[in-house]
A = this chain, B = another copy of it.
Amino acid sequence: MPIPATRQMKLSMFLTGDGNYHLAGWRLPHEDRERGHGGCDMQQWVEFGRIMERGKLDMLFIADGGISGVSDLETLGLTSRIDRLDPVTILSALAMTTRNLGLVSTISTTYNEPFNVARTVASLDHVSLGRAGWNIVTTASKDEAQNFSRTDHLPHGERYARAEEFVDVVRGLWDSYEEDAFPRDKASGVYMDAAKVRFLNHRGRYFSVRGPLSVPRPPQGHPILVQAGSSEPGINLSARVADVMFTSQSALPEAKAFYDKAKSRCDRFGRSPGDIKIMPGVLLFIGRTQEEAMEKYERLQSLIPIKLGLQRLSEGLGGVDLSGYALDAPMPDIAANAVRVSSVESYVSIARREGLTLRQTAMRAAAAKHHLTIIGSPAQIADELESWFVGGAADGFNVLASDVPGGLDDFVDLVVPELQRRGLFRRDYEGTTLRDNLGLSRPLLKEALASA
């Protein structure tokens, strides 16, 4: 694996549902079709994978989580958000149609069993020959409890306490076998060497799990762990276990402060800052010129009804009721009313900084939540990404395509070559596993802890 001469960006592509990040992305014309493709169209995902490998991107990350907004189905029906296959099925299928792309699935620790998650992600790693990742989420949507026989959603702190233990069980199960535990020797008849099996025998507050897993150690040792929660418990979980941290940041100074905070937190858990790649989300509206990019942005924004924008902002503020506020007055100070979600501060600070009205804040929330948003030419986009990367705010980016496949094609065909020319991004994959391409070492197997 050749070592790049200079530090280079890592690039993840963030897709969910039907792939369009912008709420109106699905409405753009594509091949003269009057109807959108839909998230359940696997052939579309195959096309996305092909485009991403053309651009040498590190990984496809499929976001997932509870279905929010079902209390207002009409508004939800203006989006493609409810049309979402199980990411593991899509990614397993893509393992057959791609060769280098990392395949990262979101799976909730609140509504699954660690044994099943350990097995599924290990299986994806085997099927893809070392390209799997798991984005650890605790499911923020409180409605989701009603799909899982719970009367109440777990409070934030308890969700994270459960997640910490859940992740430890999963990592422990991935270490169920030593690397050479499966001789599969036809002559002696020894398929598995009993001395190289490790029972986990975990007994904790939330879980009791004996092990071993029914799957040999994954090709990457541990598939890549991703974490995106930026709350204090989220930062701690990332600093302790994550290989990649996604974060939602809208301005460079705050992004750099967050980067420094998360990196320095690693020390508390005996890890070094280089062990974790911090990748802010960035929503791109790409044109050959800035004017073309702005036209695209305005066209997409004009296709979002204001009621959808308000619903999106309300959701981002933890479900606060916005119906009593004047649309064209300055964005009200509603932080005190909202339940505790990490988005609140960002929305309010964006509105204050830019002097936005409620309507404008809602439309901004509908466009990008509070991610860094760049509307520009390939050179302008590369400038901004470079300034964050060189300025110590990012190790790479989690790219949100405004629309698919158009925005994805534009990123790969216009922006990636510009980053390559500047020496900021690879011209070819460094290795065969996601870990190789991210430049992360393979976790060694710890000393055996216990046996049955």
Contacts and interface: CB of A to CB of B under 8 A. Distances in A.
Interface of A: 24, 26-29, 33-38, 40-42, 46, 67, 70-71, 73-74, 76-80, 82-86, 88-90, 92-97, 111-113, 115-116, 119-120, 122-124, 126-127, 129, 143, 146-151, 182-187, 189-194, 197, 199, 206-212, 214-216, 303, 305, 452
Given A182-B38, A186-B35, A215-B84, A192 B67 contact: no
A146 B200 CA distance: 11
B90 A88 contact: no
A191 B77 contact: yes
A210 B183 CA distance: 48
B36 A149 contact: no
A34 to B, nearest CB: 6
Given A34-B186, A38-B216, A83-B191, A210 B146 contact: yes
Contacts of A74: 194
Contact of A96 (B77, B86, B96, B192): B96
A187 B34 contact: yes
B71 A452 contact: yes
Given A92-B92, A149-B208, A38 B83 contact: no
A88 B120 contact: yes
Contact of A211 (B76, B124, B147): B147
Given A86-B116, A86-B120, 10 more contacts: A35-B186, A42-B95, A42-B129, A70-B212, A77-B194, A80-B191, A90-B127, A92-B92, A113-B149, A146-B209
Given A124-B89, A126-B85, A35 B184 contact: yes
Contacts of A148: 113, 115, 209
Contacts of A115: 111, 147-148
Contacts of A209: 146-149
Nearest to A80: B191
10 contacts: A34-B187, A36-B186, A46-B96, A70-B452, A82-B192, A86-B215, A89-B120, A89-B123, A90-B92, A111-B115
